[in-house]
Amino acid sequence: MTRSTRLSPNPAIHFCSVFTLSLCALAVSGPACSSDPELASLVSGGGQPSSGGRPASSSGDSGSADPAGASGAAETGDSGAPSSGQGGGGTSAELAGAAGKPEAVPAACDQLTTWSNATSVSGVSSAARETLLALTPDELDLAFSRDGALYVAHRATQSASFASGSALAVPTGWSAAHGASLSADGKRLLLVSDPDQKRLGEWTRTSRTSPFSGAIDTTAFAIINQDADFTGKLYASPTIAAGDDQLFFNSSFLGADSTIVASSRSGTGTWSSPRTLSAGIFDGRAGQRRLPTGISADGRTLFYFNEESAEQEARFRATSSLTSPLYDMRSLGARRGATPNFACNRLYSESNGDLVVEND
């Protein structure tokens, strides 16, 4: 079921065409966002982002901003893909259409969505400080850190509370300190080597209710890791696409200049050599990185945290092809770690040390 486009009631929002060279800006009311890491709580603040007003460039390559999907994600099985056949199991290439042409269907994430009504994530939020790391598109598995310890929480249905269990004992030489990502089926947890940050690898489990065990497997990341060995690059904040065919992460050179790069693969093969994503758009020096946090199920919206502005941001593209530029930007203000569900009608993030979920 497709949701129709909803125009924002905010009169400060206008569209413009690149052919008229007009300028567009998204004005969002509220107090200015502080660069202080202790951001105002979205729960106490009514769920509205602070100072979202950052200009979004207009691009002729931009696709429709209309959302797709029902009001909630479809019921899923253990594979993590909705049983209707519309789920995260479809590859980004399939969702993009032939030759990377703009999709005939509306984008999953609407650029004008106003996220609100933030509530704490049941079964996860506590008096301790939590950091959101990853969410499966079906909302059944969630990876987070609590006071620095790694947890992966699971629930049987989207309406149930998460069961977080005990902290995971990560194999030596690896941690979630530099980010983590879950595969759509919840059975693989992607981690970054620690403290060197030069390797990506995955930790596995046999089912979504089984513990992660064994050694970290780096086989599928051989080319990516070799690139770091040769160039001295450091990796952080990996994010796997729902189709398991694209991987986004931050790559920095000797801890200084950084950008977001992407790798691709077919099936369960080896990930390709990383390529720069939208040259110049995601560049940042030390302490000013752009860190991927989530990717929409159709691969057309990238969520990332901007260390320079201390704000969560999202960028949009016409297709899920890696060559499709991510130009149009929307600030999501005082959030961190934002990642959407499959239908992109719920957004999970961290607010002042608490994990929250919002509705569109």
In order of start, what are the domains of the chain with their CATH numbers?
92-359 (2.115.10)
Q: Is pLDDT larger for residue 76 or for residue 227?
A: 227
Q: How much is the pLDDT for 254?
A: 77
CA 64 to chain centre: 20
pLDDT at 160 over 90: yes
Pairing of strands 354-359, 233-240: unpaired
Structure tokens at 85: 């056949």
Contact present, 51 and 331 (Cβ < 8 Å): yes
- Helix H, strand E, coil C: the string for 204-238 is ECCCCCCCCEEEEECHHHHHHHHHHHHHCEEEEEE
**What is the torsional sign of CA 190, 178, 169, 200?**
positive
Question: Rounded to a whole number, what is the largest CA-CA distance in the chain?
Answer: 58
CA–CA distance, 151 with 125 (Å, rounded to integer): 12
* CA nearest to 59, candidates 300, 305, 303: 300
Confidence of residue 105 (pLDDT cuts 50, 70, 90): confident
Q: Can you give the pTM of this predicted structure?
A: 0.76
Question: Can you tell me which residue has the tokens 């399939």?
Answer: 94
**What is the torsional sign of CA 114, 117, 121, 126?**
positive
pLDDT at 253 over 60: yes
Contact present, 51 and 30 (Cβ < 8 Å): yes
Q: Please, what is the average pLDDT of the chain?
A: 79
